[in-house]
Structure 1
Amino acid sequence: MKRRDFIQKTAAAGIFTGIGGTALLSSSFASAEAKHITILHTNDVHSHIDPFPTSDDSYPGQGGVAKRYTLIKNIKKENPNALVLDAGDIFQGTPYFNFYGGELEFKLMSKLGYDAATIGNHDFDNGIGGLHAQLPNAKFNLLNANYDFSNTVLDGQIKPYQVFHKGGVKIGVFGVGIQLQGLVSKKMYKETVYHDPVNISQDIVKKLKETEKCDLVICLSHLGYSYESDKIDDLKLASQTKNIDLIIGGHSHTFLEKPTVTKNAEGKEVLVNQVGWAGIMLGRIDFYLDHANKVNGKGASILV
């Protein structure tokens, strides 16, 4: 869908759809007895702190951290059981990054209440040392399971996953990143070793479900939404794994009108979502868990 048509339809309709495309606002999953978890997310913000100018041909007056802050604050008032997540490429794209090196981005994300983020290829644009230097400014964890940082300054600094407790629900969140070789200069990521995200995801999800006993499992992916080639992407990751409830994607700057509903390796439904780039959209996914913790969800993309 063309970006402008998508934004007009989304803003006008306030799209909320459930798994399979059915409305859930009146379903039993939205009843008072259901546990309600809200996931808010961004991807590929690329250091866009300010809104686009009102004269911009593509995104007039859209985006900006201040407006996103207000949206997040209001949604958290509606449902305190919320997580705020990012799928990478936080850095690079405006002079704010050139001047501050990522300090401002991490400080503002901390102010907005982000709970976790994964690492995109552009987050290495000041080198692995530049990323490491900014970690104290992030009051949230960077998560990645398929980059081995053992022989780098990031050794022990990046968690593969994190478990959150919200409203009686255990939520496991993990991150996976794109192959850096050929995309990022070796001098920027140094001795970082890339591992296959499918195999790593299967291992992490098994631990989250069997050891951590998570009710919801969310993957923060900086792989890209879909490729015609054999290159791993979010849809392929969903189809080759199991027990992931939601993949929040990045890298391909894909505007989705609503979360894609696809099937995992067991034929069960998985939500895959991505909200373009530059912070002009905020993704929202609402999960409802019944008394047996059976999961159902609905999604929307909100214009900032």
Structure 2
Amino acid sequence: MKRRTFIKNTAATSGLLTLGGLGLNGCTTPSKKHITILHTNDVHSHIDTFPKDHANFPGLGGLARRAGLVERIRKENPNTLLFDAGDIFQGTPYFNFYGGELEFKLMSMLNYDGATIGNHDFDNGIDGLLAQMPHANFDFISANYDFTNTPLQGLTKPYQIYIKDGIKIGVYGLGIELNGLVSKQLYQETKYLDPYELAVETEQQLKLTEQCHLIICLSHLGYEYASINKPDDLKLAKKTKYTDLIIGGHTHTFLEKPTIISNANDRDVLVNQVGCFGVHLGRIDFNFDTEKNTASGYSIKV
């Protein structure tokens, strides 16, 4: 697994992306509108701030700090959504003692809107994940995990639609192949479906049937792999037609600002990931205008 662990001392300057043509999936709203997307990934049960003498993340992170940052951004722009791209569990004694209860309760207090499921979220098995779901007041979104004949059947959604200031935002989720990463006894009869096929099928549903203005993928596939046969976010972006933003996880890749990839229609897609352990918060701003739609993003140190 390729892991990028560089961190800058200041937040990255955002790159402004002008979305040409019809822009964000044909949005024809009559006035200027602003949607902010905040996101985390691979927090791995890190609740507390790192010690000031920590080798890699001195004095960084902590859920209380993230909560304060999210609150300030929501006051700045009430049309804000908050998502997580998986691996919420495993990494500190909080998970060992409480099995994920604390993580889900605190995410609910922060009013997360949705999350996809990472491989480590199965570390206490499907039954362990199921036991903690009542503590989560947010959507679990996964299009390519088929939970038929498991305790999670009917408890996840392939996609969810959110509406902010009249903008219809479709969000779908993708998970990594569990075989080889997770013991079969933990994920039971969960079936892994081809993420590329499910992405194209789901984004088409969101665009053509649901008429979404903005389409986002929560991905726990990983940012980039050398193997052409292993699905990742950069390859995914090239295969999509209607997805505007891919929020990634799994590879703990620290990006200062989103990567821009041309999709199958030669339209730009943003791909972002903010490392791990909650030390960074991703922010993407979409500005809708009848003449020009733009998007920009950057990573905020917590």
Q: Which residue is 1:239 aligned to?
A: 238
Distance 1:2 1:121 in 2: 19
How many equivalent pairs are there?
A: 289
Runs ≥4 in structure 1, deviation > 6 angstroms? none
Shift of 1:42: 0.2
Distance 1:258 1:55 in 2: 27
Distance 1:144 1:132 in 2: 15
Q: Which residue is 1:142 aligned to?
A: 140
Q: Secondary structure at the match of 1:76?
A: helix
Counterpart check, 1:191 vs 2:189: yes
Alignment of 1:89-104 (within 5 A): 89-104=87-102
Shift of 1:289: 1.1
Equivalent in 146, 163, 166 of residue 165 of structure 1:
163
Shift of 1:273: 0.1
Q: Compared with structure 1, are the counterparts of its residues 178 and 3 closer, same or farther at alpha carbon in structure 2 (3 Å cutoff)?
A: closer
Shift of 1:295: 3.6
Check conservation: 2:4, 2:253, Cα contact below 8 A.
no
Q: Which residue is 2:80 aligned to?
A: 82
Shift of 1:3: 4.3
Distance 1:201 1:140 in 2: 21
Q: Secondary structure at the match of 1:37?
A: strand
Identify the structure with bigger relative contact order (alpha carbons < 8 Å, sequence gap 6+): 2
Structure with greater helix share of residues: 1
Please list every run of 5 or more consecutive structure 2 residues that lacks an aligned counterpart in the other structure. 20-29
Equivalent in 215, 218, 222 of residue 217 of structure 1:
215
Q: Secondary structure at the match of 2:204?
A: helix
Alignment of 1:124-139 (within 5 A): 124-139=122-137
Please list every run of 5 or more consecutive structure 1 residues that lacks an aligned counterpart in the other structure. 22-31
Distance 1:232 1:187 in 2: 24
Q: Compared with structure 1, are the counterparts of its residues 248 and 2 closer, same or farther at alpha carbon in structure 2 (3 Å cutoff)?
A: closer
Q: Which residue is 1:274 aligned to?
A: 273
Q: Which residue is 1:259 aligned to?
A: 258
Q: Which residue is 1:108 aligned to?
A: 106
Distance 1:246 1:155 in 2: 27
Equivalent in 49, 66, 69 of residue 68 of structure 1:
66
Distance 1:158 1:84 in 2: 18
Letter in 1 for 2:196: V
Distance 2:66 2:173 in 1: 23
Q: Compared with structure 1, are the counterparts of its residues 149 and 71 closer, same or farther at alpha carbon in structure 2 (3 Å cutoff)?
A: same
Distance 1:95 1:132 in 2: 20
Shift of 1:33: 4.1
Q: Secondary structure at the match of 1:73?
A: helix
Shift of 1:2: 7.1
**More deviation in 205-214 or 76-85?**
205-214
TM-score normalised to the size of structure 1? 0.92
Q: Which residue is 2:8 aligned to?
A: 7
Identical residues among aligned pairs (%): 61
CA RMSD of aligned residues (A): 1.6
